[in-house]
Amino acid sequence: MKEVSEIIKSDPPQEKTEEKKSEDKHDFTNLITEVTKFKDKGCALYKEKKIEEAKGVFKEGIDAIEKESPIINKERETNEQCKEILLLSKKILSNIALCYYKQGKYKESIEYDLKIIQNYPNFGKSIVRLFNAYSRLNQLQQAACYGDLFLELEKDVRDKFKGTQEKVQEAKKKLKEIQKKEKDKIKKDFTKYGIPILVLLLAALTYFLLRKNK
């Protein structure tokens, strides 16, 4: 039979194990405070229409988060602070996308919004901005895609973006018209050039076969 001292050594109490697990979690209080300051400062600058400066401050906030991203991703399911940081990250990325959009830099705006919807596929602001940005770039196929995503959102979310539903329907209608014109052009070009070419090819093939059989 084991001595009592050996049992204590080999089987530590459950409370200690739980305590150790708690100690293993990182404390992100300082990071949350720091990033929140960047977010608030960036928002203040944006309100003052200092968009370039605001964008720079927002990026500082994202940089601070990215430095800790390996630990955050590791503990995101068990550490409530990680979830708070990820929500802050979403807000700041959205603000950066907005800054680029307001500057008319639609490709950069799209890049940041795509990062967001990888983790938050139903985030209305990003979906609407992606629809608008692709529309501005006259990339109607992509615009229609995000327009459809917008129409699939909950009604209370869609209602926050007045006029967007009508814009989506207009974009889809325009896309259909363009696609129809392209199909009509292909048919017309085939009638004009394709059929005569086929006739010539058949004539050449017939001539070749007749010569071969002589």
* Number of compact structural domains in the chain: 1
In a domain, residue 201? The reply is no
CB of 87 closer than 8 Å to CB of 28:
no
Res 101 pLDDT > 50: yes
The pLDDT assigned to 24 comes to 60
Coil, strand or helix at 139: coil
Residues 6+ apart with CB under 8 A from 96: 55, 58, 59, 62, 112
Within 8 A by CB and 6+ apart from 174, the residues are 140
Residue 92 lies in a domain: yes
Specify if 159 maps to a domain: no
| Per-residue model confidence as pLDDT tens digits over 18-35 | 444 444 679 999 999 999
- pLDDT given for residue 211 in this prediction: 73
Whether residue 145 is contained in a domain is answered as: no
Q: Can you give the length of the chain in residues?
A: 214
Q: Would you say residue 41 lies in a domain?
A: yes
Task: Note whether residue 129 is domain-resident.
Answer: no
CB 152 within 8 A of CB 181: no
pLDDT (0 to 100) of residue 179: 76
Inform me whether the pLDDT recorded for 204 exceeds 90: no
Percentage of residues in the chain with pLDDT exceeding 70? 80
| Class of residue 53 by CB neighbours under 10 A (exposed 0-12, middle 13-18, buried 19+) | middle
pLDDT surpassing 50 at residue 5:
no
* Residue 187 pLDDT grade (very low, low, confident, very high; cuts 50, 70, 90): low
**Identity (one letter) of the amino acid at 182?**
E
Query: Does a structural domain hold residue 208?
Result: no
Instruction: Give the integer Cα–Cα distance in Å for 136 and 6.
Output: 73
pLDDT for residue 171 = 92
Q: What angle do CA 87, 92, 96 make, to 5 degrees?
A: 150
Identity (one letter) of the amino acid at 177?
E
Task: Look at residue 157 and tell me whether its pLDDT is greater than 90.
Answer: yes
The CATH number of residue 75's host domain is 1.20.58
Residue 68's domain spans which residues? Answer: 13-103
**What tokens were used for 68?**
């800790």
Lowest mean pLDDT of 7-16, 82-91, 137-146, name the range.
Answer: 7-16
E strands of 40-84, at which residues?
none
Q: What's the Cα-to-Cα distance from 95 to each of 101, 110, 114, 201, 204, rounded to whole Å?
A: 10, 12, 13, 60, 65
pLDDT digits (tens, 9 = 90+) for 32-91: 999 999 999 999 999 999 999 999 999 999 999 999 999 999 998 899 999 999 999 999
In-domain check, residue 57 = yes
What is the rounded average pLDDT for all residues in the chain? 86
